[in-house]
Amino acid sequence: MSQLLHAIEEAKTIGISGHRRPDGDCVGACLGLYNYIKDVYPEKDVTVYLESIKEEYKFLRYSDTVNHSFTDQKELDLFVVLDCADIDRLGDYGVYLKKAKKVFCVDHHISNPGFGDFCIVEPEASSTCEILFEQFDYDKISKSCAEAIYMGIVHDTGVFKHTNTTRKTMHIAGDLIAKGLNTSHIIDDTFYRKSYAQNQILGRALIESIQLLDGKILFSIITKNMLKFYGVSGADLDGIIDQLRMTEGVECAILIYEIGLHKYKVSLRSNDYVNVSQIASGFGGGGHIRAAGCTMMGLPRDVINNLTLPIAKQMKDAGLIEASEI
């Protein structure tokens, strides 16, 4: 039996949580585990604690039971933290972590220092969902559980496209498909579908993008006024950073969007050379080698300047640019 199932068997009350602004992998992992526990251990008292989740994820079974407040402040036997690189990124749900008798962390962020009583961090895994799958007993995975896990893998691999997609990832995806999933529905409806307003802001971000270092860096800035103009939120910006990254000649893409006064959420992506996790970690964030993020203060100009300096240094070390170009 896996370490995680052992911990679950020993617990009566279980909480499951993940990072703030939960993405597909985070929601898929939390609901995948919840579904598994509900199916296999119906006697357990289990709750998922997460910030609000996107409409497109709500087809997942039990998504309507997610607790979005942190009012009960239960003292849990076991608190499982998924897809979360550090305690700060749990936001308000950190209260459960402090009170829980046991904390079990499952994650794939290279920047995760390891926390909790049990911790499985596998930076080479495509997603937290991929690691979770291996903790489960395959025969006991229901179709509903498989849907959640498959969705998480689809999202963190950009539909099996990013460099984190391995032979193992594809094997696991195949095993999940064998549970009878409607994969094109999951991929189109949760990953590719965009609203009209989302497409408009994507277009605006691309039109206003700016090239640096001969186009090796491409950045775009989204202000609060722009979000207001198109009637969208930060959650509607998915996909923009990837389109910047895929532009010909780009090694590193930067998207910053305003979340407060002189406060920006930064997304970083790279193609072959730049370790963006290292860049983001330098500003208090983290992530993966080719996809990372952080929050920065200052004017947009300062934020971009502060980011491009260490990126350019890495590019020089990789031989992409001359020292004189920095």
CB of 194 to ligand AMP, least distance (A): 16
Residue 188 per-residue DSSP state: I
- Looking at beta carbons only, is 166 or 295 nearer to ligand AMP? 295
Q: Does 86 bind Mn ion (CB under 5 A)?
A: no
Alpha-carbon span 68 to 77, nearest angstrom: 20
Q: Does 295 bind ligand AMP (CB under 6 A)?
A: yes
- Total of chain residues touching ligand AMP, rule CB under 6 A: 13
Closest residue to Mn ion, judged by C-beta, is 25
Q: Which residues contact 191 (CB under 8 A, 6 or more apart)?
A: 24, 154, 155, 159
Question: What string marks each residue from 58 to 87 as x (binds ligand AMP by CB under 6 A) or -?
Answer: ---------------------------x--
Alpha-carbon span 66 to 120, nearest angstrom: 24
Q: How far lies 276's CA from each of 42, 68, 160, in Å?
A: 42, 31, 20
Assess contact for 23 and 52: CB atoms under 8 A: no
- Looking at beta carbons only, is 7 or 149 nearer to ligand AMP? 149
Q: Does 156 bind Mn ion (CB under 5 A)?
A: yes
Alpha-carbon span 81 to 17, nearest angstrom: 5
**Which span (99-107, 140-148, 246-254, 279-287) binds ligand AMP, by CB under 6 A?**
279-287
CB of 269 to Mn ion, least distance (A): 14
- Looking at beta carbons only, is 189 or 238 nearer to Mn ion? 238
CB of 90 to ligand AMP, least distance (A): 11
Give the chain's length: 326
Alpha-carbon span 36 to 39, nearest angstrom: 5
Q: Does 155 bind ligand AMP (CB under 6 A)?
A: no
Assess contact for 152 and 129: CB atoms under 8 A: yes
- Neighbouring CB atoms inside 10 A of 72's CB total 11
Strands 286-287 and 291-297: antiparallel
- Neighbouring CB atoms inside 10 A of 263's CB total 12
Q: Which of 8, 26, 255, 294 binds Mn ion (CB under 5 A)?
A: 26
**Which span (15-23, 179-187, 227-235, 265-273) binds Mn ion, by CB under 5 A?**
15-23
26 binds, among Mn ion, ligand AMP, none (CB under 5 to 8 A by kind): Mn ion
Q: How far lies 211's CA from each of 217, 222, 250, in Å?
A: 6, 16, 9
Q: Does 294 bind ligand AMP (CB under 6 A)?
A: yes
| Residue numbers 252-271 binding ligand AMP by CB under 6 A | 267
Alpha-carbon span 2 to 135, nearest angstrom: 5
Q: Which of 291, 307, 311, 315 binds ligand AMP (CB under 6 A)?
A: 291
Q: Which of 125, 252, 292, 321 binds ligand AMP (CB under 6 A)?
A: 292
CB of 179 to Mn ion, least distance (A): 21
Residues that bind ligand AMP (CB under 6 A): 85, 89, 109, 267, 285-288, 291-295
